[in-house]
Chain A
């Protein structure tokens, strides 16, 4: 209804670039923008300002005028109920004053008002601008939003430092194939290249870390380019697209004509898999005695969890997932092997080594997964399904490549495959699971693994968990009870510390149906800690769990294993996080023993009306096990030194030993 009405009313009217830009976003169905204002894009924020403050007023005024016109048909408009004497905001007063003055045309001004856009804004009340406290926070928030919802995340920042502050988030989104559309302001086109105030060549800077980027030099290209940006970001292998918007382009006028569809002659991602190849894959699978599915983030972004589940269940094939694939398959299932790779389970890595057919689905053979690439799944024929042709045979040569959308390819493949007799294979894997489970020491001292394990139990996996980078991230991946796709959000490819807090904001805006839990460390928490203000301001019900061990734990672990325990620059001090939270108006508590954990989690989850921070003081020197050192093989895997005490097994694949 929204789109229809504004198209009818406004498509041919001349409006400013600011308005066109906001209309384009509305047409794309954007309802949240994360950003930070600045001089060159102040006009855009001005439009947004009206959306938040003026629309209600305008409707009232319109109503009043119409009533007055009806009532005073013979003496029009002079009599006007200006609502004098009623309480109203300063913004409302300003608008009413203008109406009184009979003003018809306005020119943009910081904080000012553009009356000509009011009827547009009437249609656009669903756009809300979220003011983050740093542009990096804006990009990560948009990533969190995109990962949690599957919709593109949208960022709007100003030129110069505003633009450069988005770079880390853009690179992160590029590595993890997150659909992001980043709009940056730019100095006026005449000044580009002059080292103007707050000028930076952001298109040049982000060229290698975007799927594509644009600098708009003519207002005529604005609507088409916004359309193209959303199209490119969300189709094929998703990724970030940046659009640079010079101030004069935004200020210029043009007829608005938003394209319904777009076709780019140079960009036609293949979505349908080649049926011959799919048949070949089915034939190869039919010969397999020890199949293994290896699924990645592509399954999540293609929304293909159901198809993956159907394939695994039909084949009786075990399934291991990458960090980004977690949630595609319920980890409690007999067929689930958890994560593979450097900190993957012992049995998933062993299964990779022993399988005879490996089906890589929406995964890219990253070095954290493969270790020594020549030895990876060396006994297996490999099938690789991916939408990005360049991901195929990039790191590991494959026998049956299938380029296409994972969901569509799997639908076809599922029809062709036949159930396999994998009893022996699953029995072997079951023995491995019993003999080499994920495990940790459990006693009075507090360990992050236990906290995450309990969190999984208490939520029963019904939560969106946003993790940071490092030990707490790996423990989250290992010990949380993954059940649903799009509930595991983390920075995988780039490994961006400070990702989790802002990303959890995006997740919280996108998903109101599940609790959002941010799991971070004392290091990660101090990167982007400023976003506590955004969380507090918006009363986002995020549960922030800090695993404070006084170290940059993952690097410390490497120093322990490979650098003779010389803890150079890894001890890190922190502020009193409880006091910090309180200063931001966020309730907080500190937990120091394992006995308090369950209650603390219950309390945090029960606090639904806003954020809550829990600082867990965990043991200082704890390691993530198992670990395959970088570039090595499963033969070099380092297992947990904890002895097995199966009597305390709390989970099929997970036990904690009472110390």
Chain B
């Protein structure tokens, strides 16, 4: 949807009860109400009874307000924070399997170095690169690697956490 691309992206951090079916409830809410999900990650926190979800979504102010309220309304939701207007750290991880020849291998490794990413697997015809960073950085290295031929790509989606010192700028 062209119009949704122009809507502001919001990063919502959400702590939920680590029950079975909780992810389904939240994903189902987005589906039923017709909200976009750009990415969704979920994992345990320091407390095994609690999971943290990071949802990247888009919408105008009214839709975002409804998303936050609807998420809060779910019984399994402990806390919902829209990080968008706060200082926060976010990271994404991608594993990129790129085609290579003896001629291009060095070039790819140089690109990897520039982005401070790691080569984690190598074969006669491929290199696998692990890239960690902001979404922009991950997008950038993927774009750089595209001309060589990407055989496989796995991305995690965004995880985010609020910065302790809100006075520091991002």
> What residues of chain A have their CB less than 8 Å away from a CB belonging to chain B?
203-204, 207-208, 211-212, 215, 232, 264-267, 388-390, 393-394, 397
CA A211 – CA B75 in complex, angstroms? 8
Please, which residue of chain A has its CB at the minimum distance from the CB of B31?
A: A208
CB within 8 Å of A: which B72-105 residues:
72-78
Q: Is B70 an interface residue (CB 8 A)?
A: yes
- Whether A232 contacts B75 by the Cβ 8 Å rule is yes
Chain B 89-132 against A: per-residue CB contact (8 Å), 1 yes, 0 no? Answer: 00000000000000000000000000000000000000000000
Report if B169 contacts A (CB, 8 A): no
Known interface pairs A266-B17, A393-B62, A394-B66; A388-B73 also in contact (CB < 8 Å): yes
Question: Are B72 and A389 in contact (CB-based, < 8 A)?
Answer: yes
Q: Give 28 CB contacts A-B under 8 Å.
A: A204-B21, A204-B24, A207-B21, A207-B24, A207-B25, A207-B28, A208-B28, A212-B74, A212-B76, A215-B20, A215-B21, A232-B75, A264-B75, A265-B78, A266-B16, A266-B17, A266-B76, A266-B77, A267-B75, A388-B73, A389-B69, A389-B72, A389-B73, A390-B66, A390-B69, A390-B70, A390-B73, A393-B62
- Chain B, interface SS category: helix
Closest 4 CB pairs of A and B: A390-B69, A212-B75, A208-B32, A266-B78
Question: What residues of chain A lie closer than 8 Å to B25, measured between beta carbons?
Answer: 207
Instruction: Determine the chain A residues whose CB is within 8 A of the CB of B44 once the complex forms.
Output: none
In the complex, what distance in Å separates the CA atom of A117 from the CA atom of B108? 75
Contacts of B73 in A (CB 8 A): 388-390
Contacts of A264 in B (CB 8 A): 75
Instruction: List residues of chain B with CB within 8 A of the CB of A389.
Output: 69, 72-73
Give chain B residues whose Cβ lies under 8 Å from the Cβ of A390: 66, 69-70, 72-73
Q: Name, among B32, B75, B77, the residue most crowded by chain A CB atoms within 10 Å (CB to CB).
A: B75
Bound complex: CA A329 to CA B75 (Å): 34
- Inter-chain CA distance A389–B25, complex, in Å, is 19
B65 within 8 A of A: yes
In the assembled complex, the Cα of A394 lies from the Cα of B67 at a distance in Å of 10
Report chain B residues within 8 Å CB of A211: 75
Query: Which residues on the A side are within 8 Å of B17 (C-beta)?
Result: 266
Residue of A nearest to B79 (CB): A266
Query: Which chain B residue has the least Cβ–Cβ distance from A267?
Result: B75
Q: How far is the CA of A203 from the CA of B20 in the complex (A)?
A: 11
Q: Is B65 a contact partner of A393 (Cβ separation < 8 A)?
A: yes
Q: Pick the residue among B62, B65, B75 that contacts A266 (CB under 8 A).
A: B75
Question: Which of chain B's residues have a CB closer than 8 A to the CB of A232?
Answer: 75
State the CA gap A211–B29 with chains docked (Å): 12
* B7-21 Cβ-contact flags toward A at 8 Å (1 or 0): 000000000110011
A218 CB to closest chain B CB (Å) equals: 13
| Complex contacts, B21 vs chain A, CB 8 Å | 203-204, 207, 215
Query: How close is B48's CB to chain A, nearest CB, in angstroms?
Result: 15
Chain B residues 29 to 50 lying within 8 A of chain A, measured CB to CB, are 29, 32
Min CB gap A215→B, angstroms: 8
Cα of A651 to Cα of B25 in the assembled complex, Å: 51
List chain A residues, Cβ under 8 A from B72: 389-390
Contact partners of B70 in chain A: CB under 8 A: 390
